[in-house]
Structure 1
Amino acid sequence: MNYYILITIMFAIITFINLLFLPKLSNKLSSKELVSVLIPMRNEERNVEGLIESMRKITHSPVEFIILDDGSTDRTPELLSRSTKGDSRFKIVSGKPLPKGWVGKVHACKELSLHARGTYYLFLDADVRVSPSVIEKVLFQMNHYDAGLVTGFPQFPIPTLLSKMLVPFQHFLVYFHLPIAVANHTTKKAFTAAHGAFMFFKTEAYEECGGHEAVKSSLLEDVHIARKVKEKGWKVTIVNNTNDVTCHMYDTNREVWSGFLKNIYIGLGRNPISVLLLSLFYFVFYIMPLPFFLYGFIAGEWSYCIPLVAIWVQTLMIDIASNQSRWHFLIMPIASISFIIIMWASMLRGMKNKGYAWKGRTYS
């Protein structure tokens, strides 16, 4: 038990040290170079007005906003036309039919890049809202790190039960398992993370790596294109953008389930051994501390309570860094059960070749 206690305490210490190397968006850099903000949209009527309002408040100039309607069947085109009327910075384009072998979002992003004229490309998702000064802040970090790509995991509202269990795991997995100092200061591909909702490229780096066409069939295009950037000798900088970027990823439990189902097994390299080992790891170190705590509390064996306190401290540090609910850390053991379940569900679906459904399309 002593070694078990020591390991859980070490996890908290490692996470604390790792977070020290995560730069925040704070300082600003003024620039007169054109930034192209590129946003693919497919059936996003619920996000149109909020997105456009957020874009209008951006203070960097010059800037162009290019939005691609990717075959929407709802009121997205109508709302886009109405919301952007009279503002010459906005350009609305219609997406072409999806070619064979392409993932929908990846093709839309490639199409957007063909219309862009900027020195920098900022790819955003339709459910993202940003602070007015976000571009100046990202430009500072890009210049400071001499990076070809700056990315970060936004602040995620968690309105549903399943989102509370799974969505914060995006921050947890990166801030705990990825050595951020190595990821940010080297071009080693093995140490890479990215979030497709917020990708800020130097145009030169984007074009050198082949752009989205280089990852046209990937459901995990953000990580894969970040690796392509590193292959060409550019750094990829992961920043803490949670005070400046919010991503309303999922509004329902069904959306949470579908979103994680399509990404998680692919994110593990479609490797069943990785699923097994990660399941064992989270069962031993993030689920078992709960029964140990209950036993220790009832029996008066207080040392048995330490592992749960340690993982609570670890999770709380990540929640604070990611601007998440201050009470979320308490459900970490239960959230770990959900994480294991979705990993296995994603793996089994992939092994059975049932495909992953998203935005009305099915991908293998």
Structure 2
Amino acid sequence: MISLLGQFSGHLAQATRQADQWSNVCFFVLLLVQLPAAAILLSRLLRGPTRFPPLRPQLAQPAFLGKVSVVVPTLNEAERIAPCLAGLSRQSYEVREVIVVDSHSMDATPDLVKAKQQHDPRFRLMNDDPLPTDWVGRPWALHTGFLASSEQSDWILGVDADTQPQPGLVASLLETAIAHHYDLISLSPQFILSYPGEIWLQPALLMTLVYRFGAAGETSNAPERVMANGQCFFCRRSLLAQVNGYTSAKRSFCDDVTLAREIAAQGAKVGFLDGAKVLKVRMYEGAAETWKEWGRSLDLKDAASPAQVWGDWLLLLLVQGLPLPLTILLSILMSSGQTNLAMQSLLALNLLLLVMRIGLNFAIAPSYDLSQAKASWLFWLSPLADPLAVLRIFLSSIQTPKSWRGRVYKG
């Protein structure tokens, strides 16, 4: 009996040693993989201080008269379009016209536009034709508005109905584009958050973009890594005509990035700039809607190759998704007496990644309007949502949207 117990203890000890060896090997391999990923991330973040400064409101100049046609695509936007219409109406004489392209809304959206038109004749309401089978609704509406816009306008500004343009927005876009020779500018807005769940989750989702493409104002991205935001998409009319409007993005659920990369690939100067001082947006109501609606387009697979999509996701997993759980796991193991150089180095690296992530929360804080937020302190706990954000990008990468803004699309 004693002999059997001794043999069992010996086998158990051997199994434990083998498990420790395998875990050490795994930790060492993970360290070797995480180190270059962290270096890539650090190289991107270190370019932050050299980025283009945030845009500020500007006053219109006489030379700007009638330079811009604004196109607003709408579909059942009655609950949120009023601040957008009001903000556009406050833009000065640089705006020649505001074309609202409505996709046959079933709510009061057309009535709100018509009411605004009575006070501001620059507003024009039109309906787009039935959606072709090979188009997505949003680029189709934008393309329709572009074709209907005045040829006397030098610039086309696409604006989403959930935005809240601040006074001086369009003049600022014009001034920046002319002074710095931009052909296309899109803006990162200031996000208005209200409910606890979205305050906790949304910054983690936003961080997936920062980790992949750098901060807004990044000026050195190659065409295939250009970022854009269709909520405010400002482009030379001649350039849009050259690429046949929104045709190249007709099947894309991230048409803004798809079109911007197409234009950048042709040699145009494209900028994704910080517009928090000139543009606000209230995108979604609560965490569930943010997870469903915004999360399913953040993978950007319609604008990138599969290799880029999955390479970017692997980077996110290593530098955003794993640091928190790895730090917890390694801390527990080391507190129980298990420790070696690989574990110590891995813990140090992941603690560094967590510190960087917390620091970035301070960096992105100006991108949020929490003045009406409930439990605004949850913003500072958003790093805890990072693993969920990386999971959302994975789920989006393996799925094709079947519906969008009430429209159902065939697979």
TM-score of the pair, normalised by structure 1: 0.84
Match of 1:233 among 244, 257, 267: 267
**1:279-308: CA deviation from partner (whole Å, max 9, x where unpaired):** 2432333553466689999x9x99796553
1:311 maps to 2:357 = yes
Question: CA offsets per residue over residues 179-209 of structure 1, 9 Å max, x none?
Answer: 57996357x3123000010100111111112
Is 1:26 the equivalent of 2:60?
Answer: no
Tell whether the 8 Å contact from 1:122 to 1:200 is kept in structure 2 after alignment: yes
Deviations 1:286-334 (A, max 9, x none): 553466689999x9x99796553332113322334x2465856632432
- Give the CA deviation at 1:60: 3.9
Please name the residue that 1:193 is paired with.
227
Deviation string 1:38-92 (CA, Å, 9 cap, x unpaired) is 1001000112322221111112435211101112111111222223224211111
In structure 1, what is the Cα distance between the partners aligned to 2:129 and 2:66? 29
C-alpha distance 165-182 of structure 1, shift in aligned 2 (>3 A) = closer
Does the C-alpha gap of structure 1 residues 167 and 307 become closer, same or farther in structure 2, counting only changes over 3 Å? closer
Unaligned runs of 5+ in 2: 1-27, 338-343, 371-375
Which one is further off, 311-320 or 151-160? 311-320
Percent identity between the aligned chains? 21
**CA displacement at 1:9 relative to structure 2:** 9.9
Q: Does 1:279 align with 2:317?
A: yes
SS across alignment from 1:54: helix
Deviates more, 1:99-108 or 1:246-255: 246-255
From 84, 88, 111, the counterpart of 1:51? 84
Provide, for residues 94-126 of structure 1, a one-character-per-residue CA deviation record: whole Å limited to 9, x for no partner.
121111110000100000001111211110000
For 1:38-187, what aligned pairs fall within 5 Å after superposition? 38-117=71-150, 118-169=153-204, 171-178=206-213, 184=219
Distance 1:231 1:287, change over 3 A: same
- SS of equivalent to 2:167: coil
Structure 2 SS opposite 1:83: helix
List per-residue Cα deviations over 1:118-144 (Å, max 9, x = no partner). Answer: 211110000001111111111122123
The one-character-per-residue Cα deviations of 1:336-363 (angstroms, maximum 9, x if unpaired) are 122122123323434xxxx432111233
Which of the numbers 219, 232, 238 marks the counterpart of 1:204?
Answer: 238
Bigger shift: residues 264-273 or 121-130: 264-273
Displacement of 1:230: 1.2
SS in 1 for 2:124: strand
CA distance in 2, matches of 1:332, 1:119: 42
In structure 1, stretches of 5+ residues that fail to align are none
How much is the aligned-residue C-alpha RMSD, in angstroms? 3.5
Residue-pair matches, total: 357
AA partner of residue 76 (structure 1): T
Give me the whole-angstrom Cα distance separating, in 1, the residues matched to 2:45 and 2:247: 35
Q: Does 1:218 align with 2:252?
A: yes
- The more displaced of 116-125 and 173-182 is 173-182
SS of aligned partner of 2:70: strand
Match of 2:157, SS? strand
Cα distance between partner residues in 2 of 1:149 and 1:211: 13
Change (3 A) 1:341 1:175: closer
Query: What is the TM-score normalised by the length of structure 2?
Result: 0.75
